[in-house]
Copies of this chain bind each other. A is one copy, B any other.
Amino acid sequence: MTRLNRPRYAARLNAFKVKGGTVADMLAGAGRVGGLSAADLNYPDHFAAHDPVALSRLLTDQGLVLNGLAMRYYTEDGFRLGAFTHPDPDLRRAAIDLTRRGIDACAEMGGSQMTLWMGQDGFDYSFQADYGRMWDDTISALAEVADHNPAIDVAVEYKPNEPRAHALMPDMATTLLALAEVGRANTGVTLDFAHMLYAGEMPAKSAMLAARKSRILGLHLNDGYGKRDDGLIAGAVHPVQTVELLVALARIGYAGVIYFDTFPDHSGIDPVAESRANIRLTDRLIDLAARLAVDPALAAAQARQDAAAATTLVMAALLGA
């Protein structure tokens, strides 16, 4: 399979937040874009005003299918020092149980996937924490939430820094080591393009590792400058690295949703226009990836690691150069 056929696109719903509104308003915003066909809901916050049944109906009303749920461990709920790694056993238990309820809500809505970004599970200072205990606490929590419902996939999304100075799960390979130790079939990773850049990775290379050592369960497209999680329009800064990732995913056979994890709301951009830019640019990059994935001259250049030939071929395809 060398083509990402007719991808389903989703957008970050919070980008459509309006003052005083609920998740219904966010879904309506996503509906106005015109090219989105899936959505992720955050648990528990997107379930504050509507139960799963009502949320399913709201999704259907906007022509959206549920891609999955994503956990949020809010600092006001006590998770400032950590969720799965919180040093207080009661709060750690609360984080695990919250995740299990999130998985139940996902199943109730017919979803198949829970995404975990353990943003608070990290440390700020040397000597702040016992890294071995944090690791063990994470492994056992991941195993427990994976076992809670083997029919729901649990996807780990890594990010090197922010909000904590250092994350416990900062990069692809650490995540893969952890998932190997967890050893559950219903686990995998979510690729977030800007997080990969932030971690200093070449996204297509990380995708190779993920596909060999675990499962790629989700794909977040966005872009940035590699120094932080900028949340820019997909392909706006690194079109070549984005295409290379799309070629790798086509070869791997990734058939999941493409979720635009971008922050138009942070910089005052209209989220509908921004979503349309994401879709338009990604459509184009997917077309280019489909061509490059089967280009024998490119494969030959790669086989001899001939960067001048490969770059010339790729830039000719992209820019008509």
Contact = CB atoms under 8 A, between A and B. Distances in A.
B228 A161 contact: yes
Contacts of A126: 202, 204, 237, 240-241, 243-244, 314
A202 B87 contact: no
Nearest to A264: B308
A127 B226 CA distance: 19
20 contacts: A75-B268, A87-B303, A125-B232, A126-B243, A127-B310, A129-B305, A165-B225, A172-B173, A174-B209, A227-B227, A236-B240, A267-B307, A277-B308, A280-B312, A281-B311, A281-B319, A281-B321, A284-B320, A285-B321, A288-B319
Nearest to A19: B76
Given A80-B267, A224-B165, A233-B311, A284 B130 contact: no
A124 interface: yes
Given A126-B240, A127-B298, A226-B226, A305 B81 contact: yes
A260 to B, nearest CB: 12
A166 B205 contact: yes
B305 A87 contact: yes
A188 interface: no
Contact of A124 (B232, B243, B303): B232
Chain A interface size range: 35 or more
A305 B274 CA distance: 13
Interface of A: 19, 75-76, 80-82, 87-88, 123-132, 135, 160-166, 170-174, 176-177, 180, 199-202, 204-205, 208-209, 212-213, 224-228, 230, 232-233, 235-241, 243-244, 247-248, 264, 266-270, 273-274, 276-277, 280-281, 283-285, 288, 292, 298, 301-315, 318-321
Nearest to A162: B228
Given A132-B208, A160-B200, A284-B319, 18 more contacts: A19-B76, A126-B204, A127-B292, A128-B305, A130-B303, A162-B228, A165-B232, A166-B202, A171-B171, A172-B174, A173-B173, A177-B209, A239-B239, A269-B306, A277-B315, A280-B321, A281-B311, A319-B319
A251 to B, nearest CB: 9
A281 to B, nearest CB: 5
Nearest to A265: B80
Contact of A125 (B75, B132, B236, B288): B236
A256 B54 CA distance: 58
A320 B321 contact: no
A298 B176 CA distance: 31
Contacts of A213: 177
B273 A308 contact: yes
B200 A127 contact: no
